[in-house]
Structure 1
């Protein structure tokens, strides 16, 4: 896991402080939180298990009670914070951006928890329901963060003066900006933030972290981001025809060998010009 996230973080640093970097940090943080929380629920980690009951301020509908084994998402969030936030020790605006997006990723897991209930009663009656919190499919969290990616807010850093123990200290923090001017308003904890506009990913620009889309395999029939029209940035695409071969209809012959036929099919592949 550590090697995977090291590679992920190095890639996100190569695309500067863009919204793509923001999404990379958030989805990585959400992934660690989710994996650890899921392991807790399965009993694979001795330090955690079922979450304690909800706080008193969480209302329960009439005839319901919180019971069962709720996902211990708070443990997963604490683990992810220690595992990922420890890398951000520089204290500059990029570190503040990364820490903010890490936290947004962790919160996305908690905000998307599902409430599941089970009925209890004689002959199938539902005189009492016990309810608990469970993890949704990770796709739900990914979709939620993807929406936040499209609504990511531009930010900049500024120093604010805080007073503690009769001393004034300057502290660097992130604030939203409108155009090129900062406004004295911090971003919400649940939204993604970025420092720089995204580079043009259509063209190769290694300095900006963009490899371009020339030679990328695309889907001719798709209208999404993998489609040739969008991925190739209007430059068109090349069609390659080739024959794919593989072993098929394998049979075990006594004793002791396996005989297979060779199957083949004619197929096409499309790459961006």
Structure 2
């Protein structure tokens, strides 16, 4: 991800200049995310005296040296699994309008959210209206 996107960029700062060869951090993040989403699950296969990593399913594309591969699938963090230390997302507070990781759609793993409570305001003038959503 780094080596294929390295470019020399020099900037003048006062008397001396400086040069960078690293691509922007967000560019590296985007590349790694794309590779993660297209990663191939593999298993070992004994061929003679050698062990090879082959795609677990024939539906998976053959991988190259630039692809990410994995032997074990990640645990499902959506559902509670105390044996593996996974607390699940049920009950977590989420942002109903956010498309990011704190948003109800992603954080609640597609289960949606609920509006569990509302408040009684006992003041002459209400200054903040707070709407909280939790994962189902």
TM over 0.5, yes or no? yes
Query: Where does the alignment leave 5 or more consecutive residues of structure 1 unmatched?
Result: 1-107, 119-131, 162-169, 243-263
State the number of aligned residues: 121
Report the secondary structure of 2:56's partner residue: strand
Q: Deviations over 1:235-265 (max 9, x none)?
A: 42335668xxxxxxxxxxxxxxxxxxxxx85
2:103 equivalent to 1:237: no
What RMSD, in angstroms, separates the aligned Cα atoms of the two structures? 3.4
Name whichever structure is richer in strand by fraction: 1
Select the structure of larger CA radius of gyration.
1
Instruction: Give the TM-score normalised by the residue count of structure 1.
Output: 0.36
Q: Aligned partners of 1:116, 1:235: CA distance in 2, in Å?
A: 46
Superposition pairs for residues 159-170 of structure 1, below 5 Å?
Answer: 159-161=46-48, 170=49
* Aligned twin of 2:44: 157
Contact 1:239 1:268 survives alignment (8 Å): no
Pair 272,133 (structure 1): closer, same or farther in 2 beyond 3 Å = same
Contact 2:104 2:112 survives alignment (8 Å): no
Name whichever structure is richer in helix by fraction: 1
Instruction: Give the TM-score normalised by the residue count of structure 2.
Output: 0.65
Contact 1:241 1:266 survives alignment (8 Å): no
Report the secondary structure of 1:203's partner residue: coil
Q: Aligned partners of 2:46, 2:50: CA distance in 1, in Å?
A: 5
Using CA pairs under 8 Å that are at least 6 residues apart, name the structure with larger relative contact order, 1 or 2.
1
Aligned-residue offset at 1:199: 4.0
Superposition pairs for residues 72-111 of structure 1, below 5 Å?
Answer: 108-111=1-4
Query: Where does the alignment leave 5 or more consecutive residues of structure 2 unmatched?
Result: 12-18, 120-126
* Aligned twin of 1:220: 96
* Aligned twin of 2:31: 144
Aligned-residue offset at 1:194: 1.9
